[in-house]
Structure 1
Amino acid sequence: MSEKEKNISRRDFLKTSGIATGTLIGGGLIGGIIGYGMPKTTKVPDKKTEKTNHNLTSPKGRMFFTKDRDFNILSQATERIFPKDDTGPGAIELGVPYFIDNQLAGNYGSNAREYMQGPFFVGAPTQGYQSSQTRADAYTQGVSMLEKEAQSRYKKSFVDLEGEQMDAILTSFEKGEVKMNGLTSDFFFRMLRAATLQGAYADPIYSGNNNMDGWRMKNFPGNQMSYLNVIDSKEFQKIDPQSLANMKH
């Protein structure tokens, strides 16, 4: 195996795996994007250039994370999972934090359509959601624990850490090494990772995938009314993506 093959980046993994497409995103479908499962040779922008109060600069509204600190912790965590690089924008630029925030404010956050009665035991990865806590509670605790770990290890807020320090904390979550109440930290990490990918590739009407750039990176056409004009073509068709919001009735 060549050095080039060994030095596959996190974004390269997403591009080449074929898993992280708009129709295949789901909880726990892929291995660790960050941390001990992948090498760290990809150069990503200095987080300090990315770190802004995005709630103040974006026209999108927050519906769940009312505190700037909590929202910015979530933002930086998603950016480490899906970083900006030379292939395209990262989680923050794609609006992933707003996607997660908006989802937590709805049925997803309250587990409204799921059985949430006891008994509660730690389940196998294939058993789905097993916690007594709602996703809204899990994210509230998870964000709080990210901050607590940062203060304990580095005496700084999570948003003020260097990228490698953030990765070290997120990797500890991924390995299940951080103590949480009512759920394991690896379960929370899998949930956060899945939601990050969903926000990067979901239809923009759900507040993520800004400018459909997540789709553009994978040449995914989005929601087209018809393919009749190209269906007989034997060549690959690069089609400008369309959101559900662009569809004419």
Structure 2
Amino acid sequence: MENEKKGVSRRDFMKTTGIATGTLVGGGIIGGLIGYNVNRDTVTDETTGNQQGGGQGQDHPTNVGLKFFTSMTQFNILSAATERIFPEDDLGPGAIGLGVPYFIDNQLAGSYGMNAKEYMQGPFEDGATTQGYQSRLTRAEIFSQGIAKLDEEAFSRFDKSFSEIEPEQMDEILTAFQKGEVSMQAVTSDFFFKLLRQATLEGAYADPIYNGNRNMEGWKMKGFPGHQFSYIGQIESEEFVEIEPKSISSMTH
């Protein structure tokens, strides 16, 4: 199967992450999302770049306007990295198909990227693995540096940009980051990798109103119903009930 050639299937990957057990909660994007970076009323036309009215319902259009990244080179590196973490396979779309890169871009431009809700004063010490955020850098700064380092490693090892190398070569570099083997300033590469992986997974499963989980495909793969007004019609059923998922945006119309 094609997904076996990629190393690890999404099904196996989910078993090794908090997504499968519901433990990927707290300290991430979702905890600070409400009220920030929400594309409530406008989307950007893919061909003209002009904003149009409309919510983020099931036919969730792509918001192609970048809010944080200033070059497509940076954005393409981010996209390639997220796709390796959450690849397309026989179960459904990967990170790119789900709009995860746009989700991360939008969040880095807001309170998540600037650590608006966290204490960011010194002293700054190397934290233990059980401790929370310890870096003097904001998430936006960490992502900017991390993406530059991904490209630097790609040129050093394979004489090409990260977005141009083979998938197996991308995996080699990402694994080096995960193991903390790449030198970074004021943060470790394994910490950057954790942020990148968590942001990727949250973008795949967040409500589409935040520009990820396009068309609620992430929810559909998990059989998650999204935001329903009520389950009164299904709660007494002894059989498993498949429910078409709904976005928060559907409740505002």
Scaled by the length of structure 1, the TM-score of the pair is 0.82
**Once the two structures are superposed, what CA deviation does each residue of 1:30-79 show, in whole Å capped at 9, x if it has no partner?**
xxxxxxxxxxxxxxxxxxxxxxx9xx894432100120000000000000
| Contact 1:27 1:190 (8 Å CA) reproduced | no
| Contact 1:223 1:241 (8 Å CA) reproduced | yes
**Once the two structures are superposed, what CA deviation does each residue of 1:115-170 show, in whole Å capped at 9, x if it has no partner?**
00011111122211110000000000000000000011111011110000000000
- State the AA in 2 paired with 1:246: S
| Contact 1:60 1:207 (8 Å CA) reproduced | no
Q: How many residues align?
A: 220
Identity of aligned residues (%): 58
Structure 1: give runs of 5+ residues left out of the alignment: 1-6, 30-52
Q: Which residue of 2 aligns with 1:180?
A: 184
Shifted more, 199-208 versus 116-125: the winner is: 116-125
| Contact 1:96 1:200 (8 Å CA) reproduced | yes
- State the AA in 1 paired with 2:94: G
150, 156, 162: which one aligns with 2:160: 156
2:180 paired with 1:201: no
* Partners of 2:171 and 2:104 in 1: CA distance: 20
Distance 1:15 1:171, change over 3 A: closer
| Contact 1:26 1:194 (8 Å CA) reproduced | no
* Partners of 2:125 and 2:152 in 1: CA distance: 25
Q: After TM superposition, list the pairs within 5 Å mapping 1:37-76 onto structure 2.
A: 58-76=62-80
* Partners of 1:76 and 1:178 in 2: CA distance: 18
237, 244, 249: which one aligns with 2:248: 244
Distance 1:96 1:83, change over 3 A: same
| Contact 1:110 1:136 (8 Å CA) reproduced | yes
* Partners of 1:213 and 1:118 in 2: CA distance: 42
Q: Which residue of 1 aligns with 2:128?
A: 124
Q: CA deviation at 1:19?
A: 3.2
Scaled by the length of structure 2, the TM-score of the pair is 0.80
Distance 1:72 1:107, change over 3 A: same
Partner secondary structure for residue 125 of structure 1:
coil
Q: CA deviation at 1:106?
A: 0.5
2:77 paired with 1:77: no
Distance 1:226 1:17, change over 3 A: farther
Q: Which residue of 2 aligns with 1:20?
A: 19
Decide which structure has greater helix share: 1
Q: Which residue of 1 aligns with 2:236?
A: 232
* Partners of 2:15 and 2:22 in 1: CA distance: 16
| Contact 2:62 2:211 (8 Å CA) reproduced | no
Partner secondary structure for residue 126 of structure 1:
coil
Structure 1 runs (4+) deviating above 6 angstroms are none
Distance 1:28 1:110, change over 3 A: closer
Partner secondary structure for residue 18 of structure 2:
coil
| Contact 1:216 1:241 (8 Å CA) reproduced | yes
| Contact 1:76 1:159 (8 Å CA) reproduced | yes
